[in-house]
Amino acid sequence: MRFKARVLEAPDIGRALRRMAHEILEATKGVDDLALVGIHTRGIPLARRLAGLIERFEGKAPAFGQLDITLYRDDLTEVKRAPVVRQTLVPFDVAGKRIVLVDDVIFTGRTARAALDALSDLGRPARVYLAVLVDRGHRELPICPDFVGKNLPTSKKEVVKVKLSETDGEDAVELWERS
């Protein structure tokens, strides 16, 4: 792969997350019955950051959970021969909650679809929203995020890499091109 550009730096990501947190609060009218659920891997620290911002703005934290979608993927055999299943930890009843699923990038929509399937196995939320740091287009399924940090039109040969301090030691969004 060949590096093309750094699209977002740490301050840009911070600004995008602050805006998204405000948009979530506007859409949900506060934190009562609100829960943020991060999708493994980078959706979890993004959901934690959004939850922290919401708590700072509202004085009350939303519920928080983390979701592994590995076994719900429709491309499981194409991804890895021996998939790594991580922990799903949703320490609250999802029934009646307004859930914001959080992920780093939306591309085809297949991860979001798998997350909806995994979430539905836990109960029936009142409403499910989708928040992503980067929307790069090229949807294969009729899924549209409700909250987006950055729309980044890409070609299918390009790869968007989100780096977060919690997982990668720095905050950045980079654009790479497959050889």
The verdict on pTM exceeding 0.85 is: yes
Q: Which CATH number fits domain 10-156: 3.30.360.10, 3.40.50.720, 3.40.50.280, 3.40.50.2020?
A: 3.40.50.2020
Buried b (16+ CB within 10 A) or exposed e, 15-47: ebbbebbeebbeebeebebbbbbbbbbbbbbbb
CB 76 within 8 A of CB 39: no
Which tokens belong to 62?
């939303």
Q: Return the pLDDT at 86.
A: 86
SS3 breakdown of the chain: % helix, strand, coil, rounded to 5? 30, 30, 35
Residue 164 pLDDT? 98
Query: How much is the pLDDT for 113?
Result: 97
Residues 7-17: tens digit of each pLDDT: 999 999 999 99
Tell me if 110 sits within 8 A of 75, measured CB to CB.
Answer: yes
Answer for the pair 91, 67: CB distance below 8 angstroms, yes or no: no
Position 81 scores a pLDDT of 66
Question: Is the backbone of residue 145 left (phi > 0), alpha (psi -120 to 50) or beta?
Answer: beta
Distance from chain centroid for Cα 19: 15
**Contact assessment for residue 20 and residue 129, using Cβ atoms and an 8 Å cutoff:** no
Residues of the chain with pLDDT under 70: 76-82
Return the H-helix or E-strand segment holding 13: helix 10-28
Where are the extended beta strands (E) located within the chain?
2-9, 34-39, 63-67, 98-106, 127-135, 147-151, 158-163, 172-177
Q: Which pLDDT value is given to residue 84?
A: 77
The full set of domain ranges for the chain reads 10-156
